[in-house]
Structure 1
Amino acid sequence: MATQKYGTRRLGSAAFACATGALALLAARERRYTELRLRVEQLEHTDHCHRHADLTNQHRLQFDLLTTAMNDPDLAAVISTVEAEPTTRRQYLFANALYTNALHAFRIGIVSLEELYGHLRVICQNPVFREYWEATRHQRASLKEASDEAKVGRMVDGLIRDLDESDGDEWWVVGEPPAE
Structure 2
Amino acid sequence: MTTRKIRKRGLDVAAVAGLGMAAGILATAAVQRHTLESLRTRLERLEQQSHAQRHANLASQQRQHWELLSKAMDDPELTEVLDIFEIPVTAQKRRQYLFANALYTNLLCYYRIGNLSRDEFFKHARGMFQNPIVREYWYATRHQRASLTGTEEAELGRLIDDLLLQLDEADTDEWWVVGEPPLDP
Q: TM-score, normalised by structure 1?
A: 0.97
Give the RMSD, CA atoms, in angstroms. 0.8
Matched residues, percent identical? Answer: 48
Give the one of 52, 66, 71 matched to 2:69: 66
Query: Deviations along 1:84-141, whole A, 9 cap, x unmatched?
Result: 1110001000000000000000001000000000000001111001110010001101
Point out where structure 2 has 5 or more consecutive residues left out of the alignment.
Answer: none
Q: Establish whether residue 151 from structure 1 lines up as the match of residue 123 from structure 2.
A: no
Give the one of 154, 161, 165 matched to 1:161: 165
Residue type of the alignment partner of 1:155:
L
Larger relative contact order, structure 1 or 2 (CA cutoff 8 Å, min sep 6): 2
Report the structure number with the largest CA radius of gyration: 2
SS at structure 2 position matched to 1:69: helix
Q: TM-score, normalised by structure 2?
A: 0.94
Give the one of 33, 36, 39 matched to 1:33: 36
Other-structure match for 1:17:
20
Asked if the contact 1:80–1:93 (Cα under 8 Å) also holds between the matched residues in 2, the reply is: no
Which contiguous aligned blocks of 4+ residues in structure 1 show a shift greater than 3 angstroms?
Answer: none
Residue type of the alignment partner of 1:32:
T
Other-structure match for 1:108:
113
SS at structure 2 position matched to 1:109: coil
Q: C-alpha distance in 1, partners of 2:91/2:47?
A: 45
Point out where structure 1 has 5 or more consecutive residues left out of the alignment.
Answer: none
Q: Establish whether residue 171 from structure 1 lines up as the match of residue 175 from structure 2.
A: yes
Q: C-alpha distance in 2, partners of 1:79/1:166?
A: 34
Aligned residues: 179
